Every structure is written in structure tokens, then in C-alpha cells.
Amino acid sequence: MNNPTIFSQILKGEIPCDEVYSDELCLGFRDISPQAPVHILIIPRKNISSLKDAEKKDAELLGHLLIVAGQIANKEGLEDWRTVINTGEKAGQTVFHLHLHVIGGRPLEWPPG
């Protein structure tokens, strides 16, 4: 079930965001609670709750999000960065509109918590 989320409201312009990228398929904006000097979220304009709900027909869209992640990281001057997609509550997903985190600007440890 695709319930509207805060990200749907951002897409509709009902709540502001610190936009860094926009095209017909997705929107990129700075995370409100950054975990690193660069922390950007990329969200599809299509309402997909999580990666669990992505379908084969979404393959091109998902690939596009990854390409945009690289373009944004490059524009932000990042040489190394991490892309994260949290899927499900126990994996840390709090907003149920598929989104990709681009995190960088400091050394990142592995494994994550």
C-alpha cells in the first residue's frame, strides 16, 4: 500500500526542501538531519513505498536514481561516498517512499550499525 508520506508532500511542493537536483523522474534534496557533511536524498517522483515494492518495470527508474547519485556526488566534490537504501523498519527505514541516501565528506565505517 502506497500511503502518502512527507516525501510526497515535498514532491507536491507542500513542504519546502533544500533541493539540489530535479528532473522528470526524481528529486534530490539535502537530508534535514545530515549524518555527514554531504547527506542528500534522491527520491523517485513515482510513489514506491520501498525496494520491496519495486517491480521489474521500475528497472530503468532505479538505474536512473543510481546514475543521478553519481552525478550529485560529483557535483558535491565527493571522491568517495556511500549510497544507502534502507528497506523496512528493522533496517532503519523511517519514510515509506523509496529513497536513496548519498552520504560523504568524511570517512565512513563498515559495517554500519
Q: Helix or strand or coil: residue 112? A: coil
Contact 72, 21 (CB under 8 A): yes
**Candidate segments 26-34, 60-68, 69-77, 102-110, binder of ligand AMP by CB under 6 A:** 26-34
Q: Report the C-alpha gap between 5 and 7 in whole angstroms.
A: 5
Catalytic residue chosen out of the listed positions 39, 97, 99, 101: 99
Q: Which of 3, 13, 33, 113 binds ligand AMP (CB under 6 A)?
A: 33
- What's the rounded Cα separation, in Å, for the pair 88 and 10? 21
97 catalytic? Reply is no
For 42, list phi and psi in degrees, rounded to 5: -120, 125
Q: Which is nearer to ligand AMP, 51 or 61 (CB)?
A: 51
Q: Report d(CA 37, CA 5) in Å as an integer.
A: 25
Site for ligand AMP in 81-100 (CB under 6 A): 86, 92-95
**Residues involved in catalysis:** 99
Rule CB under 6 A: which residues touch ligand AMP?
Answer: 6, 15, 17, 31-33, 41, 86, 92-95
